[in-house]
């Protein structure tokens, strides 16, 4: 018995250092604000390799020891959109920005001073709290609710 879903597979990574988070000011029209760098996993690609590749492309940094720290998901037609969440404080290289958006080190106590994407704080909570594994959007009464588990 096979049970297939249509799934879009992506990664995000929190690169952190000295109480600062490396955030991307995304400039896409449909979805903008300060958020974590990330992108799609290619067909057949290792998930760990994907996060290393995406961080290189979007930040210029070569990360090491990315740690899987949660999953984000939301429903799409006949399936779901999955985000593998990683974090690391190990990296080398020179910070650059990409066409996806400019990169900034933001102190964790100054997050309210920038325009974060809407769900940023709950996402970070799942990634930093060892008792949480999952950020799930569910559609309830035509509204999108966030459930953390």
Nearest in space to 5 (alpha carbons), one of 112, 78, 54: 78
79 binds a second copy (CB under 8 A): yes
Among 19, 62, 65, 115, binds a second copy (CB under 8 A): 65
Kindly indicate which of the ranges 20-28, 44-52, 102-110, 113-121 contains the residues binding a second copy, using the contact rule CB under 8 A.
44-52
Window contacting a second copy (CB under 8 A); options: 16-24, 29-37, 66-74, 111-119: 66-74
Q: Which long-range contacts (CB under 8 A, 24 or more apart) does 63-66 make?
A: 63/13, 63/15, 63/88, 63/90, 63/91, 64/88, 64/90, 64/91, 64/92, 65/90, 66/13
Cross-sheet strand order for the sheet of 67-76: 79-88, 67-76, 134-140, 143-148
Residue 104 CA to residue 23 CA, distance in Å, equals 5
3 is a contact residue toward a second copy (CB under 8 A): yes
56 binds a second copy (CB under 8 A): no
Our CA dihedral for 66, 68, 74, 79, rounded to 10 degrees, sits at 100
Q: Is residue 125 within 8 Å of residue 148, measured between CB atoms? A: yes
Span from 23-31, 106-114, 117-125, 132-140 in contact with a second copy (CB under 8 A): 132-140
Q: Does position 44 bind a second copy by CB under 8 A?
A: yes
Choices 13-21, 24-32, 63-71, 103-111; region in contact with a second copy by CB under 8 A: 63-71
Measured from the CB atom, the residue of 43 and 143 that comes closer to a second copy is 43
Binding site for a second copy (CB under 8 A): 2-9, 40, 43-44, 46-49, 65-71, 73, 75, 79-80, 84, 86, 130-131, 133-134, 136, 138, 147, 149
């Amino acid at each position: 018995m096979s049970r297939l879903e249509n799934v879009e597979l992506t990664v995000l990574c929190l690169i952190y250092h000295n109480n600062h988070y490396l955030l991307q000011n995304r400039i896409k029209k449909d979805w903008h604000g300060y958020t974590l760098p990330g992108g799609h996993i290619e067909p057949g690609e290792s998930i760990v390799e994907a996060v290393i590749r995406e961080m290189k492309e979007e930040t210029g940094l070569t990360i090491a020891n990315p740690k899987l720290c949660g999953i984000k998901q939301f429903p799409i037609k006949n399936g779901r959109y999955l985000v593998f969440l990683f974090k690391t404080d190990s990296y080398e290289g020179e910070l650059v920005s990409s066409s996806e958006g400019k990169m900034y080190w933001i102190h964790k106590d100054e997050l309210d001073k920038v325009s974060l994407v809407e769900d940023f704080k709950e996402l970070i909570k799942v990634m930093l709290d060892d008792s949480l594994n999952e950020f799930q959007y569910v559609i309830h009464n035509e509204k999108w609710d966030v459930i953390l588990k």
